[in-house]
Structure 1
Amino acid sequence: DIDGVVLNIADAAAVGAAARAIEAGVRKHAPQADIEGYAVQPMVTRKQAQELILGMSRDPIFGPAILFGAGGVAVEVMDDTAIALPPLDDVLASDLIGQTRIGRLLAGFRDRKPTNRQAIIAALNGLSQMIVDFPCLVAVDINPLLADAEGVIALDARIEIEPGRVEEAGPNPALAIRPYPSGWDKAFAGGGTHYHIRPIKPADIALYPEFLARISPDDLRLRFLSPRKSFSDQMLKRFTQLDYDRNMAFVALETATGALAGISRLSCDPDRSVAEYALLVRTDLQGHGLGWELLRQIVAYAKADGIGWIEGIVLSENRTMLTMCREFGFSIAHLPDEPGLVEARLQLH
C-alpha cells in the first residue's frame, strides 16, 4: 500500500534503485515512518504454483480459529475460504482443504501437476501447533503461500501478538477444543504380542474396518448391547474425532503391524461428576490381559482428569467384563427395569 515491495531485481544496481524507490514511496505515503533498513530476499518464481492463504484470528465465542483458502491479492474477491478450530491433524487439515473450491484445483488440471497436498497439510498442522503452544498469538496472516508439486513456500507473513502474554506457556487456554492429550502413551505386552497404547487420533478411522471385521458378532453384541452388522462413516467419525474435554479413548496398536487391537472409551457429563466407559478388544486377542490394561488406562485418566465416578451398562451374561469390574473395585447393581442389564460403578473422588 506504500510501494514498499519491489520484485524481479536483477543486479546490485537494481537493488540501489529499488531502495531509493521504496524510500520515496514511504516518504510520500507514510512520512511519519522511520526506515530502519531493507530486506533483500531471493526471488521465488513458481509458474504452476497455486496462491493460498493460511491465517488465524480470535473469535470472541470460539477462541482461536484457522482460515484456509485461495490467496493472493484478490483473496477478498475470490471469497474462497474455510474455517476450522484447532488443534488439527492430518485428517482434519485435509477436511479443511476439501471445503474450498481451490482444494479441488490442487489435484491438478490441464497442464498443471497436482500440488504436494501433504506439504499443505503440514503447514496447517504447523500453524495449529503454534496456536496451541503460544497463547500470545492474536492473528496470523500468511498470504500468499505458494503451493506446487515441489511443496510450499510462504512469500509474505504477518503475526500479531499480545505482548503481555509472550512468556505464557501453552496449551492455549482459549482453545474451544482441548488439545490432544500428551504423556499418556505406554507399552504393553501380552500373549507374546507387543502393543502401543495411546490416545485415539482422527486418523485412526482408517484402522476401524479391519478391526471391526475381526470381532465376532457376539462380541459386538456384548459391547453395544444389541446385534450390530454395520457402522456408518459418520459413526466412525464420531468414534475417532473427539472433543478431548468431554470424551476420551485409548487405542492399543500392535507394535509390529500397527493394526488396531482394542479400544477403551470414556464420555463424561458436562459437570465432570460422572463418565460412562466402554471397552472392546479384538476377538482373536482376548484372554491375554489387553482388556485389563485398556481399562486400567482409562480409569487412571479419568482419575487424573478429576472425574468423580465412572460407570457402564453391562449385559448380565458378560461374565468376563463383570469379573474384571469386580477386581477393579466396581460396585455391581442390577437394573430393576432391565433384567438383562447391570450397572457397574467405580468412585474415583
Structure 2
Amino acid sequence: MADDWKAQDRPADEKSWKLIEKTMLASVHEQRRARRWGIFFKFLTFTYLFIMLALFVPLSDLTSEASHEGGYTALIEVKGTIADDQQASADNIVGALRKAFDDSSVRAVVLRINSPGGSPVQSGYVYDEIKRLRALHPDIKLYAVISDLGASGAYYIASAADAIYADKASLVGSIGVTAASFGFVEAMNKLGVERRVYTSGEHKAFLDPFQPAKEEETRFWQQVLNTTHQQFIDSVKRGRGDRLKVEGHPELFSGLVWSGEQALELGLIDGLGSASYVAREIVGEEKLVDYTVQDSPFDRFAKRIGTSVAEHLALMMGWQGPVLR
C-alpha cells in the first residue's frame, strides 16, 4: 500500500520540481536581460554625454597657448559682471594678464571687453595690476577693445590700457557709482509687521530696508558714494591723460554712456576697431592666442546643460520676459 502511494506521489513531485526549476531559470534569464539592458543604457548615456561635450567644447578650446610658435597677440576676455564670484573676477583677469606678460612670444596684449561693470574693488585691483605690468614690461603694449559694452567698472579697467578701441556702435563710459535698495516700511505698517533689530552700534543697521531712512545716514552714504566716484574719476584721468576732452564736457563723469563714435570725440577711446583689427593693423601680429582663464570642459558642459534646461522650463511655464534682439 505504501509502495503504491509513493508511486502515485512521485510524478506530482517531479512536476513541482520542474515547475520550480523553470521558474528559477526564467528569473535568472530575466535578471541577465535586465543587467544587459542596464549596461546598454549606461553606455548609451555616456556616449550621449561625450557627444554633447564634443559639441559644446570645440577642440580649439582644449589647446594651450604653449602649442603656438613664433610671435603673437595675447587675447584676454573680460565678459559679464566684474565680481569676485564671476568669470570676470579680478583673480581670473589678473592671472591671465600675468601669464600673458610673462610669455616671451607675446608681442602685445588685447583685453576684449564686453561688460556692464561691477565691483569697484575688483575693477581697481585689475587697473592697478595693469599699471604694474605695463611698468615691468614697457615693450609689451596693452590695448583694450570694447565690443558691445564697456561701462562703469569695465571702462575703469580699460582706462589703464595704452589705448582703447571700440566699434562705432559700442556703448562706452558710465563713469559713476550706484547703490540701490528698496524701502518696505509702509508695506510693513499696512501688514501690521513689527521690525525688531538689536545692534551694538548707533548706525549699525543704517542700510536696513525695513527701517525708515535717516537724513544724517543718507548724507553719510552719499559721501561714501562720492568718494568712490572721485577715485574712479582720478583713475580715468590718470589713465587717459590729455586725451580726455574734459573742458566743455561737464557730463563726462556724470554716469552717462556714449556710442563708440561719440566716445572717440570725447577722448574716451583712441580709435574704432575690433580685436582682430588691433592685432593685425596696430600690433602687427595677426595671430590671436586666448589667455582667458577658462572653466574646465566639464564645468562648462554642466553650466550649459543647466542653462538650457532652465530656459526650456521658463518657456514652458511662461516665465520668459521680453528681450531685445
| Range into which the TM-score falls when normalised by the shorter chain | under 0.3
Q: Relative CO higher for 1 or 2, CA cutoff 8 Å, sep ≥ 6?
A: 2
TM-score between the two structures when normalised by the length of structure 1? 0.23
| Structure with greater Cα Rg | 2
More helix by share: 2
